[in-house]
């Protein structure tokens, strides 16, 4: 009995260099291409996954060259479908060399991406049934049909040179003629659909000749308009070079000349735009977005430190940052870009980055408000499942639907507690976003800060006494602040919980509250880990082995939120050496403000 373990042997090898990766890619093409099992077994799925890993090492042009090498037998439809979903070079090479029977073509083509189907029109050796299927799917030859000699002869001498000049200047040919077979040409972008476009003429006659005359007349008008605009642009350039003031360009009513405020795009793993919204396509297609994002640098989502944008794209990570686009006023200027990786739902393979670019306006507050709104929308969507989990956990814990074992009730109580903590974290996130955007409303009310500080210290002391630590409190009575009592309690708790969370054993924290000149000042001595931290207000700052719960997102987040809350009422929170100081306006002083 013969056991074919060649594929397993190849998969056990690790490609530690580019040369080894090329060799393994070639071996996998040979072994997978000769298999015809349907559906795929686990070993073949592992082979496709390894090909995807090698695609992150080998450039698309190298993989396409390996596919075009002679001697391959591609009978595995799953492998062909996998290659067809890769970059354009790889897909075109695979579909250009494969030789399948008509039955396999008829199974494969409906599963191919739309872009990959177009590559098959470049082949002239496909069976008639396959070409009929391509026609049914609307896949037509990219080449234009030959014009009607009798119709065009009268205009050939007049338009030949001008049309050639217009094509060279714009980089593409002007309106498409009807495709072969009588199928109607698609309307231009932005044009109103023709009610009769769905019923192509089956008979050639005077009406079809008149339609071609209208198309040629439209083409001549567009060429004449283009030449007039180009002449005006050249005239302005000559005047400017001669020292004259540049002329103001005439207004352009076309949709392309409007100043865009946003556009959507797709990029490959190198950060190059491969698709963009129609209104910006001519100006931004194939733009190297990764090189323009802040000169190749973008902030890390967690720490805010700069990271190489190309590595973010290649590692399939979210990308965001500011950039300046060159070009005319319609797209030129400052933009902010957010892009996220998209993966194939069936196999989990990376497909592209999907993103949106928004023009940066004069007000940075508008941008902060927009991002805060996006975060609040996300939190709203996340609260729904957490609320549902919490509700079901409470039903089990309270035995609403019937008796439940005590072990189940204990687990349900723990789940309910965790859900409540997560919801509290969502509230803190939303509050931070609103405060950073300056959109929160100041609540009314008045709170006695000395009473709140005293109550908070009383709640913290039992946890500190367990390790021999404590709090030395000094209060000055009559410290009233113009804040809602619940907000004042949370503000004091955030500060003191962080200050005592990483307190070493047998250590005393000095807390003092005093007021003078219309200001309330709460000072707290800091443990070594806090006063040596580069920036305790950094969102990425965390305390290790904290014994007191100081928030779901860490010490840096909690202190930053407390500082924003203090600033929202006219105060501040800052670190001065080994002391953390909260400053708030007294109630009478706040009323005058």
Same domain, 229 and 123: no
Same domain, 391 and 275: no
**What CATH number did the domain enclosing 283 receive?**
3.30.450.20
Angle between helix 60-68 and 88-97 (nearest 10):
0
Tens of pLDDT, residues 518-576: 888 999 998 888 878 888 888 888 887 667 877 888 888 999 999 998 988 888 999 88
Same domain, 348 and 415: no
Same domain, 506 and 524: yes
Q: How many CB atoms lie within 10 A of CB 560?
A: 23
Cα gap 491→569, rounded to integer Å: 12
Query: Which residues form the domain of 564?
Result: 447-592
Give the pLDDT score at 409: 92
Tens of pLDDT, residues 280-293: 777 788 888 877 77
Higher pLDDT, 326 or 542: 542
Mean pLDDT, rounded, of the chain:
75
Q: Is residue 408 part of a domain?
A: yes
pTM for the complete prediction?
0.43
Q: Is the pLDDT of residue 298 over 60?
A: no
Same domain, 584 and 494: yes
SS (H, E, C) 444-501: CCCEEHHHHHHHHHHHHHHHHHCCCCEEEEECCCCCEECCCHHHHHHHHHHHHHHHHH
Q: Is residue 204 part of a domain?
A: no
Helix (H, G, I), strand (E, B) or coil at 419: helix
Q: Is residue 198 part of a domain?
A: no
Q: Is residue 564 part of a domain?
A: yes
Give the pLDDT score at 197: 39
Same domain, 331 and 409: no
Give the pLDDT score at 453: 92
Tens of pLDDT, residues 394-422: 999 998 888 999 999 999 999 999 999 89
Per-residue buried b or exposed e for 459-475, using 16+ beta carbons within 10 Å of the residue's own CB? ebeebbeeeebbbebeb
Last residue within a domain, chosen from 361, 376, 399: 361
**What CATH number did the domain enclosing 487 receive?**
3.30.565.10
Lowest mean pLDDT among 136-140, 264-268, 491-495, 562-566: 136-140
Same domain, 459 and 569: yes
Q: Is residue 212 part of a domain?
A: no
SS (H, E, C) 16-63: CCHHHHHHHHHHHHHHHHCCCCCCCCHHHHHHHHHHHHHHCCCCHHHH
Q: Is residue 496 part of a domain?
A: yes
Q: Is the pLDDT of residue 127 over 50?
A: yes
Give the pLDDT score at 168: 42
Cα gap 276→287, rounded to integer Å: 10
The two most distant CA atoms of the chain are separated, in Å, by 103
Residue 156: pLDDT band with limits 50, 70, 90:
very low
Sign of the Cα torsion 35, 38, 43, 47 reads positive
Per the structure, how many domains does the chain have? 5
Residue 41: pLDDT band with limits 50, 70, 90:
confident
Give the pLDDT score at 241: 40
């Amino acid at each position: 009995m013969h056991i074919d373990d060649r594929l397993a042997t190849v998969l056990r090898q690790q490609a530690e260099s580019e040369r080894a990766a090329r060799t393994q890619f070639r071996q996998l093409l040979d072994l997978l291409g000769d298999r015809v099992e349907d559906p795929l077994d686990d070993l073949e799925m592992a082979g496709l996954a390894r090909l995807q890993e090698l695609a992150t090492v080998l450039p698309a042009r190298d993989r396409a060259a390996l596919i075009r090498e002679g001697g391959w037998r591609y009978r595995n439809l799953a492998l062909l479908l996998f290659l067809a979903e890769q970059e354009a070079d790889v897909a075109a090479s695979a579909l250009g060399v494969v030789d399948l029977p008509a039955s396999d073509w008829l199974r494969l083509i409906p599963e191919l991406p739309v872009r990959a189907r177009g590559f098959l029109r470049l082949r002239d050796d496909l069976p008639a049934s396959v070409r009929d299927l391509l026609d049914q799917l609307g896949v037509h030859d990219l080449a234009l049909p030959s014009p009607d000699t009798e119709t065009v002869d009268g205009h050939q001498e007049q338009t030949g040179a001008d049309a050639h000049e217009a094509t060279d200047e714009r980089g593409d040919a002007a309106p498409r003629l009807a495709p072969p077979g009588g199928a109607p040409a698609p309307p231009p972008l932005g044009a109103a659909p023709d009610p009769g476009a769905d019923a192509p003429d089956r008979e050639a006659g005077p009406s079809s000749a008149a339609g071609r005359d209208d198309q040629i007349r439209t083409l001549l008008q567009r060429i004449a308009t283009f030449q007039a605009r180009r002449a005006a642009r050249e005239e302005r350039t000559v005047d400017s070079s001669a020292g004259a003031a540049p002329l103001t360009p005439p207004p352009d009513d076309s949709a392309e000349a409007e100043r865009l405020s946003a556009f959507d795009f797709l990029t490959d793993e190198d950060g190059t735009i491969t698709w963009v919204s129609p209104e910006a396509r001519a100006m931004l297609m194939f733009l190297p977005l990764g090189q323009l994002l802040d000169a190749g640098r973008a902030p890390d989502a967690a720490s805010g430190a700069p990271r190489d944008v190309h590595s973010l794209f290649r590692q399939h990570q979210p990308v965001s940052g500011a950039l300046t686009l060159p070009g005319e006023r319609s797209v030129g200027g400052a933009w902010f870009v957010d892009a996220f990786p998209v993966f194939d739902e069936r196999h989990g393979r990376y497909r592209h980055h999907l993103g949106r670019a928004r023009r940066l306006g004069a007000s940075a507050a508008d941008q902060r408000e927009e991002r805060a709104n996006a975060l609040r929308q996300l939190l709203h969507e996340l609260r729904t499942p957490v609320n549902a989990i919490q509700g079901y956990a409470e039903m089990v814990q309270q035995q609403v639907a019937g008796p439940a074992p005590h072990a189940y009730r204990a687990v349900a109580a723990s789940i309910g507690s965790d859900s409540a903590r997560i919801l509290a974290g969502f509230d803190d996130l939303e509050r931070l976003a609103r405060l950073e955007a300056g959109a929160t409303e100041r609540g009314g009310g008045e709170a006695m800060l000395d009473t709140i500080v005293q109550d908070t210290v009383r709640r913290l002391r039992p946890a500190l006494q367990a390790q021999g630590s404590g709090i030395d409190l000094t209060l000055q009575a009559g410290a009233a602040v113009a804040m809602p009592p619940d907000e004042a309690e949370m503000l004091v708790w955030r500060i003191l919980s962080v200050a005592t969370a990483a307190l070493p054993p047998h250590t005393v924290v000095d807390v003092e509250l005093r007021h003078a000149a219309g200001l309330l000042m709460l000072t707290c001595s800091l443990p070594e880990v806090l006063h040596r931290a580069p920036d305790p207000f950094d969102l990425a700052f965390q305390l290790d082995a904290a014994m007191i719960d100081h928030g779901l997102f860490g010490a840096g987040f909690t202190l930053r939120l407390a500082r924003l809350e203090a600033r929202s009422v006219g105060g501040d929170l800052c670190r001065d050496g080994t002391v953390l100081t909260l400053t708030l306006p007294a109630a009478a002083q706040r009323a005058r403000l």
